[in-house]
């Protein structure tokens, strides 16, 4: 007697959401620098760059990240709450531009910078939360991959803290280079940490917890995020 195929997952799973978030965050600074030919003092300045593609991709990427974060419920109330907070901050960053570059002007003073600081603080918390969840896998066949992810999460958490520190230093010095490096540290750390947590990358993902892009044949019944 023929058996019916397993039903498809009813919605996009959290691992694919993590992968997409990480991919967009990691791609944004690279794409903006390429489009502007390196002629921007900060990633946020791409909003004011004469080529409208830089603004479109800057705003569009942040809205995409916001939508994905809003749809990410994780595995705890804290992850639900902080995911939604980060989503709101991403929207505020995109629609309230910074006072940066030759044409820069603020719609509401301080909203852009404050939102960036809050967002990166929340994302730093996610790094430490990912660490706690990865630690639960240090006692079985997933321990080697989990220990590698822990190292990456810690490095990314430090990168987020460095980003916030650079933003704070810019507040006092007004040196635009600090904003560029703060955004770069923050976005790269953000992107790498969420790509790592997607359980789709080799070497840092054990075979028993490997997730495919569309969750076909995935091991979600056994696996916990981390």
| Confidence tier at 103 by pLDDT (50, 70, 90) | low
Burial 103-118 (b: 16+ CB within 10 A, else e): ebeeeeeebbbbbbbb
Q: What percent of the chain has pLDDT over 90?
A: 52
Instruction: Extract the tokens encoding 115.
Output: 């939102």
CB-side exposure of 172: number of CA atoms within 13 Å? 4
Mean of the pLDDT values across residues 44-63? 91
Q: CA nearest 86: which of 149, 160, 139? A: 160
Angstrom distance (rounded) from CA 199 to CA 17: 11
- Identify the pLDDT of residue 99: 79
Mean of the pLDDT values across residues 108-122? 90
- Identify the pLDDT of residue 130: 94
DSSP 177-216: HHHHHHHHHHHHHHHHHHHHHTT-SSSSS-GGG---TT-T
Return the higher-pLDDT residue of 152 and 105. Answer: 152
> pTM of the predicted model, to two decimals?
0.86
Answer positive or negative: Cα dihedral of 115, 104, 50, 165: negative
| Confidence tier at 219 by pLDDT (50, 70, 90) | very low
- Identify the pLDDT of residue 105: 72
Tokens 């004469």 -> residue:
50
Number of neighbouring beta carbons within 10 Å of residue 51: 13
């Amino acid at each position: 007697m023929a058996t019916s195929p397993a039903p498809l997952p009813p919605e996009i799973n959290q691992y694919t959401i993590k992968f997409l978030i990480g991919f967009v965050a990691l791609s944004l600074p690279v794409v903006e620098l390429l489009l502007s030919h390196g002629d921007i003092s900060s990633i946020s300045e791409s909003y004011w760059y004469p080529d409208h593609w830089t603004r479109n991709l800057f705003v569009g990427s942040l809205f995409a990240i916001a939508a994905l974060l809003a749809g990410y419920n994780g595995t705890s109330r804290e992850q639900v709450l902080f995911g939604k907070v980060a989503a709101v901050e991403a929207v505020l960053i995109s629609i309230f531009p910074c006072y940066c570059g030759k044409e820069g002007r603020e719609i509401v003073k301080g909203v852009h910078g404050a939102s960036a600081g809050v967002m990166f603080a929340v994302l730093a918390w996610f790094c430490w939360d990912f660490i706690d969840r990865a630690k639960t896998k240090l006692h079985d066949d997933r321990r080697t991959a989990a220990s590698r992810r822990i190292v990456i999460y810690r490095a990314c958490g430090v990168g987020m803290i460095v980003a916030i520190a650079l933003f704070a230093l810019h507040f006092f010095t007004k040196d635009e280079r600090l904003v560029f490096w703060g955004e770069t540290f923050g976005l790269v750390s953000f992107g790498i940490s969420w790509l790592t947590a997607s359980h789709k990358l080799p070497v840092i993902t054990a075979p028993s917890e490997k997730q495919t892009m569309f969750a076909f044949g995935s091991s979600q019944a056994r696996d916990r995020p981390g």
